[in-house]
Structure 1
């Protein structure tokens, strides 16, 4: 190496030392404030949850958290969760809401535990992306949340209403309207029996799909198994509301009607 090269090398080293270095900030703390079931629709194939989060900036400078994809684990099964951009003041906090969508098939075990009301382990892991000047810096992988969550379903029985009960030749036509007031959808299946004067004269096998908040109608014509004499008319529903592999409840109701 010639003596002429040494000044050039020294100049390059000086220039490199003058390049500003990116200071790696501390990752934000993330606290789960609320875990809420919005909707579980087995017919659409997914369940949606809202997660209310509080992000706290431990740094002495403002921190811009960019859109980041994290992994939300429920009962050991992982699902993608997008954390939207949040601008955190120095040493300050902000609240935000993230939407978690759980596929019904892949998340059957997790959903079954949740809708039963049992505590379920929830973990939020991965990398968050933050902006440091013009540079995007990934922070992680880290475990931001590790705690139990619980869903209070407060299941309400579907409302059954007899909207049609009449004779047509040798058959009995039975029309039922069913309203599902719950945030979860389910299949409603089982026998519906018609009694006149205490004697069973007909039986219908009901099978309905009831999405969350839906109002559906079922009509069936069945042959009479006895002569409908005089007396009060009752419709007895002995049904099961179920999401196969996830959840099940008995639905039993007795309706009064008038034969036309």
Structure 2
């Protein structure tokens, strides 16, 4: 029996690349996103697109119930959907902050709650939470985004120990900069929110840094390969980091440098 995979954010970027790769490897793939029309091309590959809104409980229940009714199980859940809301913490509205956490954290965890009972029933499963290097290293102007990814890391650590006795693995994947729509959304958000406030000078510097980084990013297909490696490992690591050397280098610096030294290093790059 082919394993059943549910992938959120399958309409673009890492989610779409992962859905395609798993389908090629013989998985029965359900790709979900808010907009069905952006997943029409996936049907040709045997991927089943479903509409799902991570901010609406009813939408998640409906999608998961449909998969259970059709496939009987979900063996792999890839919590990939998410976005970056950028701007100085003082400038970001509480409504926008809540929405950031609702999508990146609460939605992912609610979907996980819905999937776990069947995984326990079958005595196995893989939950892949797509975090970021930004789940370990915080940069200015990304406070609420980093808060969401730091939270996802902590929740993954707790859940990994909770569900291991049931044969379920919880795995964090930490990509560095990756080619996707994420960057454009984050860039636009940054300048819209803080481009004309007391933080406009720093916002401009961070924007310039983003533009430089965007010229040397990983392809989403590379991250998909890393996700596949984690899924198919019989003894997976707790975390997998993007193959880009700069992502691993940044995490290494975070471990060895003091907070003050790390602050100076990061702010020195914002020019």
Q: Under a length normalisation based on structure 2, what TM-score does the superposition of the two structures give?
A: 0.24
The structure in which a higher percent of residues are helix is 2
Q: Which has the higher contact order (CA 8 A, sep 6+)?
A: 2
Q: Where is the strand percentage greater, Structure 1 or Structure 2?
A: 1
Structure label with greater radius of gyration: 1
TM-score normalised by structure 1 residue count? 0.25
